[in-house]
């Protein structure tokens, strides 16, 4: 018993039919074209990629470095301010004690 | 892979690639272009591809993707010019069933279209199709079934 539908038969006919594309290149033409194109394909510029990556990394590290330095300075300023305040407080206390 | 390997690959599989791609593009020039682009792309990535045995499937897969790119570009150009390619609209009054199938294929969504195209080019061999499409067997059979249902409907409407 044949269970195949019409569409199955059409697909089988399409598979069995010769390639309907007039104008398709032969293997020889494809190979010639391929080898012509290969000669035009540039080699990958690894050195260029390396230099670009190095430049980007340098910029990132420079930004990070100056950012850290700036933060350190701000922390030191804060520390100095704290020390001055402590000294003032000590002087004030001492002065109070002396006045007694 | 060397140039010699590529030559052998072209000799052995070019017809299958062309048969697959022409079902998608429906145009010999575009099919030639897609296959040519696929070969160059495969050559450029040859070092990253280790399995020589599957190289033909791989090139076929690339050619299918390139074919889609080409037809999408054509469609965009046609839309930009506000005129769909007239040659696509003109059909022979007495077209045979295979021409009708080709027209119906053009109206199928991409996954079904490529599945049918690959199946036809590979004499409906499920094993080869699954390898080229790089999908699970269940996915392939399901797509084929859906494609057949849709094709039947489209062909009735044409």
ipTM field: 0.72
Sign of the Cα torsion B110, B114, B120, B121 reads: positive
Place of tokens 């499409």: B133
Per residue of chain B (158 residues), what is the pLDDT tens digit? 778 888 888 898 898 899 888 888 888 888 899 999 999 988 888 877 665 657 888 889 999 999 999 988 888 888 777 655 555 544 554 567 888 888 888 888 888 988 988 888 888 888 888 888 888 999 999 999 999 999 888 888 87
Contacts of B6 in chain A (CB under 8 A): 34
Say if residue A64's pLDDT is above 60: yes
Q: Tell me whether residues B44 and A27 touch, CB distance under 8 A.
A: no
pTM here is 0.65
Angle at the Cα of A16 from the Cα atoms of B154 and A9, rounded to 5 degrees: 45
Query: Contacts of residue A39 in chain B, CB cutoff 8 Å?
Result: none
Any B CB within 8 A of A1 CB: no
Query: What single string gives the DSSP state of each residue in B24-78?
Result: HH--HHHHHHHHHHHHHHHHHTGGG---GGGHHHHHHHHHHHHHHHHHHHHHHHH
* Residue position matching structure tokens 């010769």: A18
Q: Which residue has the tokens 């399409």?
A: A14
Q: Does A18 touch chain B (CB under 8 A)?
A: no
- Whole-angstrom distance, CA of residue B96 vs CA of residue A8: 16
Q: Which of B30, B148, B157, B26 is nearest to B99 (CA)?
A: B26
List CB contacts (< 8 A) between A27 and chain B: 10-11, 14
Of A10, A22, A30, the CB nearest to B14: A30
CB within 8 Å: B120 and A34: no
A19, closest residue in chain B (CA to CA): B19
Verify whether the Cβ–Cβ distance B43 to A14 is below 8 Å. Answer: no
* Alpha-carbon separation of residue B144 from B77, B110, B112 (angstroms): 31, 12, 7
Q: Is A45 on the interface with B (CB under 8 A)?
A: no
């Amino acid at each position: 018993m044949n269970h195949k539908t019409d569409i199955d038969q059409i697909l089988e006919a399409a598979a069995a039919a010769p390639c309907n594309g007039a104008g398709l290149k032969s293997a020889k033409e494809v190979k010639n074209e391929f080898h012509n194109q290969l000669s035009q394909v540039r080699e990958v510029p690894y050195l260029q990629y390396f230099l670009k990556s190095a430049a980007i990394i340098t910029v990132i590290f420079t930004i990070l470095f100056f950012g850290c330095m700036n933060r350190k300075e701000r922390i030191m300023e804060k520390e100095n301010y704290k020390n001055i305040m402590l000294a003032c407080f000590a002087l004030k206390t001492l002065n109070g004690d002396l006045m007694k | 892979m060397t140039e010699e390997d590529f030559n052998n690959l072209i000799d052995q599989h070019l017809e299958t690639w062309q048969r697959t791609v022409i079902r998608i593009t429906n145009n010999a020039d575009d099919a030639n272009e897609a296959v040519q682009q696929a070969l160059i792309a495969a050559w450029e990535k040859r070092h990253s591809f280790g399995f020589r045995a599957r190289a033909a499937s791989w090139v076929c897969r690339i050619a299918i993707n390139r074919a889609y790119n080409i037809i999408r570009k054509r469609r965009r150009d046609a839309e930009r010019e506000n005129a769909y390619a007239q040659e696509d609209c003109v059909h022979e009054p007495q077209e045979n069933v295979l021409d009708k199938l080709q027209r119906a294929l053009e109206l199928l969504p991409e996954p079904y279209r490529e599945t049918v195209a690959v199946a036809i080019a590979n004499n409906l061999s499920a094993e080869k199709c699954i390898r080229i499409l790089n999908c699970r067997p269940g996915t392939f059979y399901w797509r084929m079934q859906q494609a057949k249902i849709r094709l039947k409907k489209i062909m009735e409407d044409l």
